[in-house]
Structures are given as C-alpha cells and as structure tokens.
Amino acid sequence: MIRQAFFAALLLFAGGVSHAAAATLVPPGNRSVEQPGVPGASSKRTSAGNTTFDAKYRKVYALLKNDRTLRSKISAAARAYGIDPLHIVGAIVGEHTYNVDAYDRLQTYYVKAIAYLSSSLSFRYEGEDVTDFVNRPQFAECRGSSGSYALWTCRESVWNRSFRGKTVDGTAFPNDRFSATFFQPFYAGQTFGLGQLNPLTALQMSDLVHQVSGLPKLDAGRPNQVYETIMDPDLTLPYVAAALKKSIDAYNRIAGFDISQNPGITATLYNVGNPEARAAALKRENHARASRGEAPRFPEENYYGWLVNDKLPELKALF
C-alpha cells in the first residue's frame, strides 16, 4: 500500500497535478520501525515527576477509558470539525505522556479553570503588553490579514524574522518562540488543560472555533478569558479539534498529502506546531526530489506521534 502511494505521489509532484484534486493518502501506522528518540526536555519532565512514560500513558489512558462523558465530548468535538476522534485522543495522549501528568478525573480540569479566573494574568515582555507590541511598525504587513489564524501566524513570522534574538529599539529580545516570550505568564514551557494548548494557538484558532462552535472570540487583551478557554474542557476541546483540522487541511492543500487517517502524524504536528510552514517545506523538498527522479518523502511521525500510532489499537477500542 505504501509503495503504491509513493509512486502516486511521485506522479503528483512531477506532473504538477493540483493538490486539491489528488492528495496522496498517508496510510495508517508508523513509518519508523523503532520510536524516534525522546528529546531531553520531555525526559527531564518525566524524571522530575519520578514516573516513566509508560506509567504516564497508562494514567491518561485510564482517564479516557473510565470517563464516558469525556469520550462523548471528544466525539462531539470531532464531529463538529469533521475529523476522526482519534486525532483528538492522540493529541491528549501525547501531551499527557510526554509533557504533564493527566489528572485522575475530568472534574479536576473544571476546578483548575475556575482557579485561574481569580489570577491576575498578563501577556507581556519586559513590561510591554503584547497588544502594544504587535502595533509596532514591523507588524504593519499583518494588519490586512483575514482572520485570526492568518493574523497571529503573520505576527509569529514577524517575531521570528525581526525580533527573535535581536535588540530592537533598545530592548533585547530572547532567542525563543513568540508564544514562550509573551504568552506564558507563569513560567516558560508551561501549557495548560486537557489539550495542553498554549495561548497563541488558541488565539490563532479563535475565528474558526467561533464560526463552527459559536464560542466567543478570544482577545489577547483579556488573558484570563484565554486561560479559562484553555483550562475548561468544554471550551478547550473545540480548540484542540480546530488545531488538528488546520493541520489536516494544510497538508492537503499545500503539500498534497491526506493525513486524515494517520493520528500519529496529526499528533506530531500538534506537538511541533507551524503546520503550514512545515507543509510548505515538505512541498519544496518533494519538488526537488521529483526533479531528481526520486520518490517523495511522506510526512513522518516524531517520538510523540509514534507512540500514538503504536497504541492505536487500544485507543480505537475506546470508541
């Protein structure tokens, strides 16, 4: 099956066929026989908690297995965004296996959401609020962006190009991600809730979630609203589904690959982010490969997505 898909994709890239008309299916399962190496950051999180990855996986699996209400909410979110619920399950499993421990009960996430509403939050760096920062002239190109996804993706690109690791107007900016610099008011690397979304991703998905689920649009000037959305399972699951749907659409439209039947690939993209840029890079690489008469490179899972595909039989049994 994979061999047939390889040559179909080679014809696609070599012949210039429209991606929208003939996306190449990425078959279910892992491309790698062995799991890719787990980076040091995830290993440190696990050792700090005195657990193993398998124990953390078993904990989040138990949450999913024992909570019929949670599975029902996942299925409803998946239907609303036209994706298989296993994509959402894969994102949750990956995050809680490699980043944070799952809580034992869904109710705990609701309690945490209420707690964050009483906190005084702000999205700022060195005293400058992000709503003021994005009004700097460097961001002028983003002002005509259509929708929250295009707007915040553009702003992230400007950050990487014009501010990251540079000194601008007397302020030294860290060589770090936009989300880590402005959108983590507690400490770097921290994400929250059932889907472990970061605020920047939530802001990007705001318009799509408003359109599909009818939830209020998010505002970077209201950090507490953003964090409530991230923490409350009823609010965050549509955002998780929207982010996964965006990845599936980006790889179909840009790179010519249908990843809708491979939750390990969508989980990988949920983990690493920037699906459109990654799809564009894969497209460029495969055009170069086609010019050399080589088969295209398919999207590949990382350590996080590999686990999801490896555990897929028992995850499927939940639904």
pLDDT tens digits for range 28-85: 999 999 999 988 655 544 444 445 889 999 999 999 999 999 999 999 999 999 999 9
Nearest Cα to Cα of residue 182 among 133, 113, 115, 145? 133
Of the ranges 109-123, 133-147, 216-230, which one carries the lowest mean pLDDT score? 109-123
Length of the chain (residues): 319
Phi/psi for 195 (5° steps) reads -95, 0
Q: Which two tokens stand for residue 74?
A: 């996942």
Cβ distance 238 to 274 under 8 Å? Answer: no
Residue 200 belongs to a domain: yes
Residue 267 belongs to a domain: no
52 three-state secondary structure: coil
Q: Mean of the pLDDT values across residues 211-235? A: 92
Residue 269 belongs to a domain: no
Residue 78 belongs to a domain: no
Domain that holds residue 195: 125-234
Q: Mean of the pLDDT values across residues 145-170? A: 96
Cβ distance 148 to 204 under 8 Å? Answer: yes
pLDDT value for 117: 64
Torsion, Cα of 183, 184, 189, 195 (10° steps) = -80
Q: Mean of the pLDDT values across residues 2-10? A: 42
Using CA atoms, how far apart are residues 14 and 30, in angstroms rounded to an integer? Answer: 26
Using CA atoms, how far apart are residues 94 and 183, in angstroms rounded to an integer? Answer: 22
Residue 164 belongs to a domain: yes
Using CA atoms, how far apart are residues 153 and 165, in angstroms rounded to an integer? Answer: 19
State yes or no: pLDDT of 232 exceeds 90: no
Q: Which H or E run contains 268?
A: helix 263-272
Predicted structure pTM score = 0.85
Phi/psi for 258 (5° steps) reads -95, 105
Residue 184 belongs to a domain: yes
Confidence tier at 190 by pLDDT (50, 70, 90) = low
Q: What percent of the chain has pLDDT above 70?
A: 81
pLDDT value for 51: 58
Phi/psi for 191 (5° steps) reads -125, 170
pLDDT value for 105: 57
State the total domains in the chain: 1
Identify the sign of the CA torsion 101, 191, 81, 278.
negative
Residue 163 belongs to a domain: yes
Using CA atoms, how far apart are residues 55 and 61, in angstroms rounded to an integer? Answer: 10
Residue 54 belongs to a domain: no
State yes or no: pLDDT of 4 exceeds 90: no
The secondary structure of residue 124, as a DSSP letter, is E
